[in-house]
């Protein structure tokens, strides 16, 4: 039985993808595809104890306790004729709250994912992770946090996030180390945000027809400015830290957004140039169709490698 572990990330159309899988469980099961999502893994207790403590390390006792539960569930899936099991759990990487608190992108990913890999025991054939432009990711994460009870971030917090060097490339390297021997796929949020059926098709690397997604389904989207003002007002807070107008909230200045966009562009070029052999970039277009020169990508990736090494050395 092949296992695909979809680890999110948060704010990367993960809930939409899980909803699609859950909505078509029966049809997909007929094709030999099984699905374990948050309802089973969290609410059902299958991954109990694996969601790490404050230091990001998963306790060995929790790993040992989870092993027989997971092994039994895998055996049942295999007996039911599941040929490919897709596990989807973004909290394996970390949390939006933790990222905002640490001003960094999944800083404990390596330790957390190692715990999940040990507990599952069965070889993981493929690991999938969505990759979203950093300015969009952080804006969505911060809006989601305000909805859940946080106040809008202060200028110092936004500056710290902008200045943090950690990016999707670093997370991908952690994923590859935690799941050594697994194929790592980095899925473009831009291409797959509203197309979970296309995303699944690429993950399964098959041409078999899959259930079509309902049109314009986007779940758990970040609240817009109007909704954020309403959230703050309901909690007795003034929305003075939010800009006037309507639509999507962008808390970063233009200069900060440009820094985040440049960092993300470096990541994408690195991915398209081969990701150092540790991961595969997945989108809905061939690189040529996307207007990306592989030669330029390799050259820019080499320059970026040098810059990062110099930065670490200083």
- Of 3, 8, 72, 70, the closest CA to residue 34 belongs to 3
Most confident option among 142-151, 207-216, 302-311: 142-151
Structure tokens at 292: 């990306």
More confident residue, 303 or 224: 224
Q: So what's the pLDDT on residue 271? A: 95
Cis peptide leading into residue 134 (ω within 30°)? no
Query: Has residue 74 got a pLDDT over 50?
Result: yes
Among the ranges given (117-126, 151-160, 208-217), the one the predictor scored with the smallest mean pLDDT: 208-217
Between CA 258 and CA 175 the distance in angstroms is: 27
- Where residue 128 falls (left for φ over 0; alpha for ψ -120 to 50; beta otherwise) is beta
More confident residue, 216 or 190: 190
Partners of 17 in beta bridges: none
Between CA 205 and CA 33 the distance in angstroms is: 13
Query: Has residue 116 got a pLDDT over 90?
Result: yes
Q: So what's the pLDDT on residue 129? A: 97
Query: Has residue 301 got a pLDDT over 90?
Result: no
Query: Has residue 312 got a pLDDT over 50?
Result: no
Query: Has residue 153 got a pLDDT over 90?
Result: yes
Mean pLDDT of 159-180: 97
pLDDT digits (tens, 9 = 90+) for 3-39: 999 999 999 999 999 999 999 999 999 889 999 999 9
Q: So what's the pLDDT on residue 221? A: 85
Query: Has residue 127 got a pLDDT over 60?
Result: yes
Percent of the chain with pLDDT over 70: 88
- Of 53, 50, 59, 137, the closest CA to residue 99 belongs to 137
Mean pLDDT of 151-162: 96
Between CA 205 and CA 199 the distance in angstroms is: 10
Q: So what's the pLDDT on residue 314? A: 35
pLDDT digits (tens, 9 = 90+) for 206-263: 666 788 877 666 677 889 999 999 999 999 998 888 988 899 999 999 999 999 999 9
pLDDT digits (tens, 9 = 90+) for 91-100: 999 999 999 9
Cα–Cα distances in angstroms (integers) from residue 172 to residues 55, 125, 128, 274, in the given order: 20, 16, 10, 12
The per-residue DSSP string of the chain comes to -EEEEE---TTSSHHHHHHHHHHTHHHHHHTTEEEE-HIIIIIT-TTTT-S--TTSPPPHHHHHHHHHHHHHHHHHHHHTT-SEEEEE-GGGT--HHHHHHHTSS-TTHHHHHHHHHHHH-SPP-EEEEEE--HHHHHHHHHHHHHHTTPPPPPHHHHHHHHH----HHHHHHHHHHHTTTSEEEEEEHHHHTT-HHHHHHHHHT--S--PPPPTT---SPPP-HHHHHHHHHHTT---TTSPSSSS----S-HHHHHHHHHHHHHHHHHHHTTGGGT-EEE-SS-TTTTT--HHHHHHHHHHHHHHHHHHHH-
Q: So what's the pLDDT on residue 244? A: 87
More confident residue, 301 or 187: 187
Q: So what's the pLDDT on residue 261? A: 96
Q: So what's the pLDDT on residue 216? A: 64
Mean pLDDT of the chain: 88
Q: How confident is the model at residue 308 (pLDDT cuts 50, 70, 90)?
A: very low
- Of 106, 5, 122, the closest CA to residue 56 belongs to 106
Between CA 29 and CA 15 the distance in angstroms is: 20
Query: Has residue 54 got a pLDDT over 80?
Result: no
Query: Has residue 298 got a pLDDT over 60?
Result: no
């Amino acid at each position: 039985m092949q296992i695909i572990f979809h680890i999110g990330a948060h704010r990367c159309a993960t809930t939409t993808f899980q909803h699609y899988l859950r909505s078509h469980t029966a049809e997909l099961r007929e094709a030999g595809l099984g699905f374990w999502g948050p309802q089973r893994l969290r609410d059902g207790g299958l991954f109990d104890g694996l969601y790490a403590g404050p230091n990001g390390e998963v306790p060995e006792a929790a790993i040992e306790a989870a092993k027989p539960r997971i092994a039994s569930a895998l055996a049942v899936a295999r007996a039911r004729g599941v040929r490919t099991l897709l596990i989807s759990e973004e909290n394996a990487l970390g949390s939006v709250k933790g990222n905002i608190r640490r001003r960094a992108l999944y800083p404990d990913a390596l330790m957390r994912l190692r715990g999940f890999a040990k507990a599952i025991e069965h070889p993981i054939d493929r690991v999938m992770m969505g990759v979203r432009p950093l300015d969009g990711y952080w804006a969505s994460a911060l809006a989601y946090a305000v909805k859940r009870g946080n106040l809008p971030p202060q200028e110092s917090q936004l500056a710290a996030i902008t200045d943090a060097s950690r990016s999707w490339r670093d997370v991908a390297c952690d994923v590859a180390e935690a799941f050594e021997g697994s194929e790592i796929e980095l899925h473009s949020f831009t291409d797959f945000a509203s197309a979970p059926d296309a995303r699944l098709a690429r993950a399964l690397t098959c041409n078999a027809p899959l259930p079509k997604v309902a049109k314009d389904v986007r779940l758990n989207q970040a609240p817009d400015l109007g909704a954020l003002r309403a959230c703050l007002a309901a909690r007795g807070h003034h929305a003075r830290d939010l800009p006037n107008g309507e639509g999507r909230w962008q808390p970063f200045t233009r200069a900060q957004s440009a820094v985040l966009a440049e960092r993300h562009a470096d990541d994408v070029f690195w991915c398209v140039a081969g990701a150092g052999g540790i991961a595969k970039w997945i989108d809905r277009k061939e690189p040529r169709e996307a207007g990306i020169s592989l030669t330029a990508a390799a050259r820019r990736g080499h320059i970026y490698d040098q810059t990062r090494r110099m930065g670490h050395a200083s």
